[in-house]
Amino acid sequence: MRPIIWLFVAVLAATLAVCADRKFRTATREPEQDALDRLRTDHLSPSDPSLDDRRMVLLARFFEKDRTARALLRGEITLDEAADHFRDLTRDDPAAVESLKRWFAAAGDEIYYRNVLKFARGAAYGQPPEILAVVAKLENEVRRRFPPRDGIEVTRR
């Protein structure tokens, strides 16, 4: 039953990312805009075969990020290793990187660390207090590396 829930969450997250991307699109053309335009799918119907490929890539990426977050919570990898793996997963997808920048209102390495935290929080949901303590420690580590700007901090999204 849990994989079905995660599949639903993945589709919902991808939909929200697309909606957020459209809502916050800037009026000026950015250098990566040409690459992003090639990935646009709003002119396609939901049954278009090319969308199936994109869905499979996003779903595979989601499950790999979930596995990585769970390994992090078990102490099998470090926060730096998890962030590096998340970076590798999205390196060839400029639309995904741009969505992460907008979602977390950050840039550079910070987006990958915050994305790791987001997945770690999801993986820790309903887990024993020991796992929640690991998440709190990870949040403190990210807060230490990337202090809040202008005295405003959003801890959960």
| C-alpha to C-alpha distance for 112 and 117, rounded to whole angstroms | 9
Domain assignment present for residue 115? The answer is: yes
CA 8 centroid distance within chain: 15
pLDDT at 69: 94
pLDDT at 58: 85
pLDDT at 85: 94
| C-alpha to C-alpha distance for 39 and 95, rounded to whole angstroms | 7
The DSSP result for 18-78, as a single string, is: HHHHHHT--SSPPTTHHHHHHT--TTS-TT-HHHHHHHHHHHHHHHHHHHHHHHHHHTSS-
Helix-then-strand count for the chain, H and E: 7, 0
Best CA proximity match to 111, nearest among 135, 139, 136, 146: 146
| C-alpha to C-alpha distance for 85 and 79, rounded to whole angstroms | 10
Domain assignment present for residue 152? The answer is: no
| C-alpha to C-alpha distance for 95 and 25, rounded to whole angstroms | 12
pLDDT at 45: 57
Tell me which DSSP letter residue 149 carries: B
Domain assignment present for residue 6? The answer is: yes
Domain of residue 120, residue span: 2-26+50-145
Domain assignment present for residue 45? The answer is: no
pLDDT at 79 over 90: yes
Question: 122: how many CB neighbours lie within 10 A of its CB?
Answer: 16
Domain assignment present for residue 32? The answer is: no
Residue with the bigger pLDDT between 155 and 118: it is: 118
Task: Provide mean pLDDT across the span 61-76.
Answer: 93
Domain assignment present for residue 79? The answer is: yes
pLDDT at 67: 94
The predicted model scores a pTM of 0.64
Number of domains in the chain: 1
Task: Tell me the average pLDDT of the chain.
Answer: 79
Identify the residue whose tokens are 């590396």. Answer: 145
Task: Provide mean pLDDT across the span 100-128.
Answer: 92
Under the banding of pLDDT at 50, 70 and 90, the label for residue 28 is very low
Domain assignment present for residue 154? The answer is: no
Domain assignment present for residue 118? The answer is: yes
